[in-house]
Structure 1
Amino acid sequence: MSRPPVDLVPADGPAEELTHNPYNTVTGGIWRTRRHGRPAVLKLITPPGREGPAHWAGSADPGHWNYWRREVEAYRSGLAARAYADAGLAAPETLAVDERPDGGVALWLADVAGRTGTAGTVADLGDVAARLGAGQAAWLGRAPDYDWLARDWLRDYTLTRPVVEPVPWDHPVAVAAWPAPLRAALRRLWEHRHALLAAADGLPRTLCHHDCWPMNLVFGDAGPVLLDWSFVGPGPVGEDAANLLLDTFLDGLVDVALLDEVAATVVDRYADGLRGALDRAEVARAVRLTGAAKYFWLAPLMLGRAGGGTAQSYDLRGEAEMFAGRRPLLELLARWADEQLR
C-alpha cells in the first residue's frame, strides 16, 4: 500500500488506497481521503516518462489513446459533468485541480456514496445502458471541439496490446479449458482483427467514455455515477455498451452465469436509450461488432502469458480458473466475430 504525498494529505490523516490499474503509468495513485473536512478521492496524474509497461505508457500527444492530461481536461472543462448529464448519468463533482511542482497534477473529486458497480444487479446495468444510449444519442454525428479528445481510441488501444506471434493456440492450459472449435474461432477473430476494426469504422460516431465497466460505476441515491474519464473521445456507437457488457465479467468480479441475461438486457436497454435514433437491429449489430473489435487480442495475449504467472490488475483468480472462467465470455466474442465476418 502507498500513501499520497504528505503535502497533500497529512501524515496522520486518513488515506485509503483504492484499487486501480497500476500498470498505467499515467496514474500515480488513487486514494479515498478528505479535503477540507469533506470526503474526497485524490488521483495523482503523472506525466510521460514514469517507469512501466510500454503498452501502458502515457503520451504527450493530445490525441493519443493514453494522453496523460485527458482526464484533467475532461473535469476542468466540465465535459465529464455534462457529457451524459441530460440522460441522468453523472460524473463526480470536481473539487480541485492542482498543478504540482513535479509536473504532475492532483485531481480532487468528491467521494461518491453508494453501491459499487460490482454490486449492481442486472437491472442496474440495464439502467446504465439505457442512460448511456440516451446520452450518446445526443452526440450522434458530432463531438465536442477539444483537441485533447482521443482521436481513434478503439483502434489505437487494441493494436498496441502486446501480443507476440506466433500465438500458441494449442498451449496445454488452453487445450484444457477451451475446446478446439473455440480455439479455432478465437484464431479467426485474431486473424481478422483489421477487418473488424474497418467495419467498426463504418458505424455512426458518438461521444464515448471508452472505459465503462463496473469498477468505474457507483450506484448512488441520485442515480449512477461514471468515473475515470481518461479515455473520452469520439467512437463508434455501441462500443461503450459492449464494454459494459463484457467487462462486467472479464475479471471474475461478477458471476459469469449472468452473462446471457446481462447481454440481452444491456443491448435491449441501450437501444431503448437511443430512442429510435438507430434501428434496433443495427444497435445490436453495433454492440456485437465493437465488442469483437475491442477484444480480438484477449485470447492471444492470455496464451502468450500462459505459464508465466503474470499478475493481473483486478482478476485475482489462478491461471487455470481464469482460463475456464473466461470461456463463456470468449465463446460470446467468437460468435459475435463469426457473425460479422460472414
Structure 2
Amino acid sequence: MRLAYDRGMVDVEPAGRASEALPAYVAVAVAGVPEVDVVAVAPLAGGTGAATADVARVTARTPDGRELTLVRKSVRPLRAGRHAEAARAPEHWAYWRREPLAYASGVLPSGPGLRAPRCFGVETAADTLTLWLEDVVGPEAEPVAAARALASWQASAPVPDVPWLGGHQLAQRLAVTDLDWTQVDADPRVARVWAARHELMAALDGVPSVLSHGDAGLGNLREATGDVVALDWGTFGVAPVGSDAAHLALSAQADVLGPYVDALDGTFAVDDVRRGYRTTLALVGASRVHWMLAAGVSVPRGYVDLLWRLRPDGVR
C-alpha cells in the first residue's frame, strides 16, 4: 500500500521486529540514501494521548557520518476505559487511525504561520501504526503568537469531507462524564460552572465549526523556523470556533481571546467566537480541576480564578 505525504508517494511498509537501521523508505525520504543506521532510541515524555502506544526520539547516522533525529510514534486502538467502545467509530475523538490518515490526506496545515511536523512515512501492523515524523526542535510557542497562528489557519482552512475527521470532542466527552463534586475539595465556583454544562452546551449549537487541533496546549505548540509547529494531531477534527484558543488559554493561564479574534480578521462574529472560547475554557477547565483533585495533583495557582473570570454569561 502507498500513501501520499509531503514528499510525494511513499511506501507503507509492514512493521517487523526492531532493527538497527531506519526503514529504507524513511531513510530515503529524510536523508536521500536507503541505508541509515540507528544509533540511539530515547523515549519521549508526554506521549499520553488515548491512542498513543509509544513515542521516541531516534538518532541515526548516514554512511557519510551525518547524524539526524526523527520522532517515532506508534498508535493503537483504545481497549479500556469509558471511551473504548465509542472510539472504534472514525468520528470519535480517540479514533486510533486518525493521525496517520490526516498526514496522508494533505489537509494538515503546512505554514506559513501554523504547520504540522513533516511525516516521512508509516509502518503498519495488524493493530499498530508507526509514524516517522520530523523532530521539531524549538521552545514552546509564545501564547499570543500561537493564538494568532491558530486563528489564521482556522479562518482560511475549509473543512474536508473525510469520514475520519473527529467530531466535537467536548460534546463526546461530556456525554460519558458525570463528575461527583462531593468527592473532592474543590472551589465551589468550579462546581457551579459544571452544573451549568447542559445549558452551556446547548448555547453552542449556533456557533460555527472550524477545523480544530483538539489539544492545542503549549505542550503541543513549538516555535521553529518562524512558524508555530503543532504536534500530536490525534484529535484533529471540528469544533466550535474558539475551542482551540480555550485550550491554549488554559495551558498558558492567560486570556488569548483578543489576539485570536484579531487574527480571525472578521471571518466569524465576535459573539460566536467568544461563546465558543468561554464555554470550552469553562467546561474543560472545570473537568481538569476535578481530575487534578481526584488524582492528588495540586491545582495551579490562579487556574480557578482564570476560568471563573472568563466564564460564560449566565453562570453565577
Name the SS of the counterpart of 1:297 in structure 2.
helix
What is the letter of the counterpart of residue 15 of structure 1? V
Change (3 A) 1:185 1:25: closer
Change (3 A) 1:13 1:58: farther
Q: 45, 49, 67: which one pairs with 1:19?
A: 45
RMSD: 2.8
- Where does the alignment leave 5 or more consecutive residues of structure 2 unmatched? 1-14, 22-36, 63-67
Change (3 A) 1:274 1:300: same
Q: Say if 2:194 and 2:283, in contact at 8 Å, map to a contact too.
A: no
Structure 1 distance, partners of 2:84, 2:219, is 18
Change (3 A) 1:26 1:281: closer
TM-score, normalisation: structure 1: 0.73
Q: 141, 144, 169: which one pairs with 1:153?
A: 169
Q: 31, 39, 45: which one pairs with 2:69?
A: 39
Q: 129, 133, 137: which one pairs with 1:105?
A: 129
Tell whether 2:276 aligns with 1:286: yes
Structure 2 distance, partners of 1:5, 1:19, is 24
The percentage of counterpart residues that share the same residue type is: 30
The residue that corresponds to 1:177 in the other structure is none
Hey, which of these two has a bigger chunk of helix by percent? 1
Q: Say if 1:158 and 1:295, in contact at 8 Å, map to a contact too.
A: no
The residue that corresponds to 2:206 in the other structure is 202
Q: 293, 299, 304: which one pairs with 1:330?
A: 304
Q: 233, 255, 259: which one pairs with 1:269?
A: 259
Tell whether 2:235 aligns with 1:231: yes
Tell whether 2:106 aligns with 1:78: yes
Q: 169, 180, 183: which one pairs with 1:165?
A: 180
Q: CA deviation at 1:36?
A: 7.1
Q: CA deviation at 1:272?
A: 1.5
Q: Say if 1:133 and 1:271, in contact at 8 Å, map to a contact too.
A: yes
Q: CA deviation at 1:68?
A: 0.7
**Structure having greater relative contact order (Cα 8 Å, sep ≥ 6):** 1
What is the letter of the counterpart of residue 273 of structure 2? V
Tell whether 2:91 aligns with 1:63: yes
Structure 2 distance, partners of 1:103, 1:111, is 25
Hey, which of these two has a bigger chunk of strand by percent? 2
Q: Say if 2:159 and 2:211, in contact at 8 Å, map to a contact too.
A: yes
Q: Say if 1:63 and 1:150, in contact at 8 Å, map to a contact too.
A: yes
Change (3 A) 1:298 1:56: farther
What is the letter of the counterpart of residue 114 of structure 1? G
Q: Say if 1:90 and 1:226, in contact at 8 Å, map to a contact too.
A: yes
What is the letter of the counterpart of residue 111 of structure 1? D
Deviations, residues 66-124 of structure 1 (Å, cap 9, x unaligned): 00101110111122244xx3x52111111111112x42111001112222x1xx4xxx2
Structure 2 distance, partners of 1:45, 1:221, is 28
Change (3 A) 1:108 1:8: farther
Change (3 A) 1:272 1:25: closer
Structure 1 distance, partners of 2:181, 2:143, is 38
Tell whether 2:18 aligns with 1:7: yes
Name the SS of the counterpart of 1:80 in structure 2.
coil
What is the letter of the counterpart of residue 163 of structure 2? D
The residue that corresponds to 2:147 in the other structure is 129
TM-score, normalisation: structure 2: 0.79
Change (3 A) 1:21 1:158: farther
- Where does the alignment leave 5 or more consecutive residues of structure 1 unmatched? 175-182, 249-258, 307-318
Q: 291, 303, 313: which one pairs with 1:339?
A: 313
Structure 2 distance, partners of 1:274, 1:9, is 47
Q: CA deviation at 1:168?
A: 3.0
Aligned residues: 282
Q: CA deviation at 1:16?
A: 1.3
Tell whether 2:231 aligns with 1:241: no
Deviations, residues 191-247 of structure 1 (Å, cap 9, x unaligned): 111111122232111111111111111211232111111111111000001111102
Change (3 A) 1:245 1:147: same
Change (3 A) 1:28 1:88: same
Q: Say if 1:26 and 1:57, in contact at 8 Å, map to a contact too.
A: no
